[in-house]
Chains A and B, each alone.
Chain A
Amino acid sequence: MTSPFEYAPAPESRSVVDIAPSYGLFIDGEFTEAADGKVFKTVSPSTEEVLSEVAQASSEDVDRAVKAARKAFEKWSALPGAERAKYLFRIARIIQERSRELAVLETLDNGKPIKETRDADLPLVAAHFFYYAGWADKLDHAGYGPNPAPLGVAGQVIPWNFPLLMLAWKIAPALATGNTVVLKPAETTPLSALFFADICRQAGLPKGVVNILPGYGDAGAALTAHPDVNKVAFTGSTAVGKAIARQVAGTDKKVTLELGGKGANIVFDDAPIDQAVEGIVTGIFFNQGQVCCAGSRLLVQESVQDEVLDALKRRLSTLRLGDPLDKNTDIGAINSAEQLARITALADTGEAEGAERWSAPCELPSSGYWFAPTLFTNVTQAHTVARDEIFGPVLSVLTFRTPEEAVAKANNTQYGLSAGIWTEKGSRILAVADRLRAGVIWANTFNKFDPTSPFGGYKESGYGREGGRHGLEAYLDV
């Protein structure tokens, strides 16, 4: 099939990033081996090439890192806010200087298209540090009373879908408010956090203020359970979030959880269809659908169902799947073999339960982890693909007749993170937005993020907000 969109390959250069053959844990300002000497390999999901060997933290390492963070807390929290601010501004600036390097690194380690790391992730990462840098000396004005106090040592566990962005969401507000951190990146994407450790070094950040512990779930559990951790921040699955909530019961640890979602993207019959189709694509195929706030349930008004689906399939057929380092690539690799297996199993369940599967016609590369953009029609609310978070490029299409029905179906989930509304009618946007139980609602747009804008869920999508003035509360004793 020849497409008018056949472009010549435009690969981004890998030479801007030097990946060392091995990395240590970053504790108290030094790279160090794991106490038990364990290491694990991190691979590029698009080629399965081993990128580096990384030290694997155990509970003993967690203990060392928490001790370092505790020791650093005294001085760091006592620094005038204006001085803490300057460190954060330095970090923001260094991230900007090194953003091409970090974008390529993130694409290699995560598998997402360079287009997204370069144009979305990295600018947002720098913006988060800039935004919270400015708060560090203005906390008296944040609405939490005069002199709000930091909590102490923050134990932070982040996922693999936006490795550096999630790090920024966690570390920037923690440092601005005077806390010190121990952060565990995901086992499949440890590299950008380790490069961030180097940025902390370049910025002259005092030792122990930021500690990075690559590792698996056991290290994360040891961190959130550590008795000397005062604050737990977690982004990841709802199941793990619940386990953390149980684990901290009866302690005085402050907790924020940013968990799963099953966002409804509601398209009314008066919506601008072309824009809506772009929004649907952004909603579920951005970052291969590996987004907690993805619009993974399309609710389309019956009268425009055929029109929307035709346009959507046509659009999906033009998406370019392949080498994430190619600047023309829209759809990159799934983050890991494990995640690919999970997506495949859920999609198979969708078929087995009688939903109709359609995948964009595209050739999958022979190595790496790939899943073609897929949508399911004839989906009912009882279907697994309409209920479970798939965390992959799989869209379930349901229909509705009235706004009432749209709202009822949108809210019919244990999650409450995001939703989308597409209509030209302003009053309908406001009425529907008012009744949707979700923390972020995008009207006539989707998947927009900004450091000044609070983000977080209702119901089982977790508690607390990240971003904006609201995001400070999670790290202050209020």
Chain B
Amino acid sequence: MSDRLSVFKTYKLYVGGKFPRSESGRVYEVTDSKDNWLANAPLSSRKDARDAVVAARKAQAGWAGRTAYLRGQILYRVAEMLEGRKEQFVREVAEAEGLSKSKAAAVVDAAIDRWVWYAGWTDKVAQIVGGGNPVAGPFFNLSSPEPTGVVTVVAPRQSSFLGLVSVIAPVIATGNTAVVIASEDSPLPALSLGEVLATSDLPGGVVNILSGRTAEIAPSLAAHQDVNAIDLAGVEDAVLAKELEAAAADNLKRVVRPQPVDWSADPGTHRLTAFLETKTVWHPTGSLGASGSAY
């Protein structure tokens, strides 16, 4: 038994529902917490990032146009798929973060539960942050949240799976599409998540996952004119974070700045609402002519 040669896995990007290698043809070594070689991950280029934006843009209107109920069903389906492949993620998280098997299992459980939590938000957020406004005049006036569009997410560097799920799920729950830069040091759980998403009824392009050097890929995404928002969660270098935020100002992207986050704590709704726009529609109500109450 023990002399069987194991089959290595070739990790690939997840872009537009497909699993391409980096167009640059480059890979980089991914090691575990003790510096042992685990796999070669694609070293994405700026071209890969631009391709991912094209895929995310193409998918956005369709994804936002799905009913909130269906989006919730699909997000829940992702949780189902994750549950079935839990062992793989426990192993990858344990290796990536140097955790014991039981601790890694707790992290993966928390990540799956978080995914379920966001699955339940899809058809509730409009009622929480929208509603009718009692304006002083004969008008029907309704505010509703809408997705801001294509969101670039720099996933947390240390929390390779729970952190990752915590930044992807809120973006897509509300109808945005995402271009995700996986943890630079520990990209394997993210690349495996792509395989789960591909088999979960999630339309291709809704989530796109890139691995590589944040400092290489993120600047072009922060400056990209067809990206509407950027979550800098995983940008640990303050100078780079400032540069990215300044680049994002060029088309007034919505920015979530990096800040210390306890990924195991209750996430609240901040990341859910950060990528929403509020649309308010007015219409005259008129009157039926007769004065006084009709009841």
Stretch at the interface among B3-11, B25-33, B44-52, B240-248: B240-248
Say whether B1 faces chain A, with CB atoms less than 8 Å apart.
Answer: no
Q: Which of under 10, 10 to 19, 20 to 34, or 35 or more describes the interface residues of A?
A: 35 or more
Identify the closest chain B residue to A462 (Cβ).
B252
Say whether A225 faces chain B, with CB atoms less than 8 Å apart.
Answer: no
Say whether B70 faces chain A, with CB atoms less than 8 Å apart.
Answer: no
Report whether A468 and B143 are in contact in the complex, using a CB–CB cutoff of 8 Å. yes
Stretch at the interface among A93-101, A243-251, A322-330, A339-347: A243-251
Say whether A48 faces chain B, with CB atoms less than 8 Å apart.
Answer: no
Say whether A162 faces chain B, with CB atoms less than 8 Å apart.
Answer: no
B side interface size, CB within 8 A: 35
CB contact under 8 A between A249 and B245, given known A441-B282, A453-B280: yes
Mark contacts of B126-144 with chain A using CB atoms, 8 A cut-off: 1 yes-contact digit, 0 otherwise. 0011000111110101010
Q: How far is the CB of B236 from chain A (nearest CB, A)?
A: 13
Q: How far is the CB of B215 from chain A (nearest CB, A)?
A: 16
Say whether A414 faces chain B, with CB atoms less than 8 Å apart.
Answer: yes
Given the complex of chains A and B, what is the CA–CA distance between A252 and B241 in angstroms?
Answer: 12
Say whether A442 faces chain B, with CB atoms less than 8 Å apart.
Answer: yes
Report whether A448 and B252 are in contact in the complex, using a CB–CB cutoff of 8 Å. no
22 contacts between A and B (CB under 8 A): A143-B128, A143-B129, A245-B249, A246-B246, A249-B243, A250-B238, A257-B252, A414-B251, A429-B283, A439-B277, A440-B279, A440-B280, A441-B282, A443-B283, A450-B133, A452-B141, A453-B135, A453-B282, A458-B277, A458-B279, A459-B251, A463-B254
Q: How far is the CB of A313 from chain B (nearest CB, A)?
A: 25
A456: B residues at CB distance < 8 A: 278
Say whether A242 faces chain B, with CB atoms less than 8 Å apart.
Answer: yes
Given the complex of chains A and B, what is the CA–CA distance between A252 and B268 in angstroms?
Answer: 20
Report whether A452 and B134 are in contact in the complex, using a CB–CB cutoff of 8 Å. yes
Given the complex of chains A and B, what is the CA–CA distance between A478 and B257 in angstroms?
Answer: 13
Say whether B34 faces chain A, with CB atoms less than 8 Å apart.
Answer: no
CB contact under 8 A between A433 and B281, given known A250-B242, A453-B133: yes
Q: How far is the CB of B140 from chain A (nearest CB, A)?
A: 9
Query: Which of B250, B254, B277: most chain A CB closer than 10 A?
Result: B277
Which residue of B254, B268, B277, B283 is within 8 Å of A445 (Cβ)? B283
B270: A residues at CB distance < 8 A: 478
Q: Is the interface of A mostly helix, strand, loop or mixed?
A: loop
Q: How far is the CB of A325 from chain B (nearest CB, A)?
A: 27
Report whether A441 and B280 are in contact in the complex, using a CB–CB cutoff of 8 Å. yes
Please report which residues of chain B, range 245-295, place their CB below 8 angstroms from some CB of chain A when the two chains form the complex: 245-246, 248-252, 254, 257, 268, 270, 277-284
Given the complex of chains A and B, what is the CA–CA distance between A433 and B280 in angstroms?
Answer: 9
Given the complex of chains A and B, what is the CA–CA distance between A8 and B55 in angstroms?
Answer: 64
- List the 8 shortest-distance A-B pairs measured between CB atoms, nearest first: A250-B242, A245-B249, A249-B245, A450-B135, A249-B246, A246-B249, A453-B133, A443-B283
Report whether B280 and A455 are in contact in the complex, using a CB–CB cutoff of 8 Å. yes
Report whether A242 and B250 are in contact in the complex, using a CB–CB cutoff of 8 Å. yes
Given the complex of chains A and B, what is the CA–CA distance between A250 and B255 in angstroms?
Answer: 11
Q: How far is the CB of A247 from chain B (nearest CB, A)?
A: 9
Report whether B278 and A454 are in contact in the complex, using a CB–CB cutoff of 8 Å. yes
Report whether A443 and B282 are in contact in the complex, using a CB–CB cutoff of 8 Å. yes
Say whether A241 faces chain B, with CB atoms less than 8 Å apart.
Answer: yes
Say whether A70 faces chain B, with CB atoms less than 8 Å apart.
Answer: no
Report whether B141 and A439 are in contact in the complex, using a CB–CB cutoff of 8 Å. no
B134: A residues at CB distance < 8 A: 452
Given the complex of chains A and B, what is the CA–CA distance between A250 and B249 in angstroms?
Answer: 12
CB contact under 8 A between A438 and B133, given known A453-B143, A478-B270: no
Given the complex of chains A and B, what is the CA–CA distance between A245 and B280 in angstroms?
Answer: 25
Say whether A470 faces chain B, with CB atoms less than 8 Å apart.
Answer: yes
CB contact under 8 A between A440 and B129, given known A450-B135, A463-B252, A478-B270: no
CB contact under 8 A between A445 and B139, given known A143-B128, A241-B252, A454-B278: yes
Report whether B245 and A442 are in contact in the complex, using a CB–CB cutoff of 8 Å. no
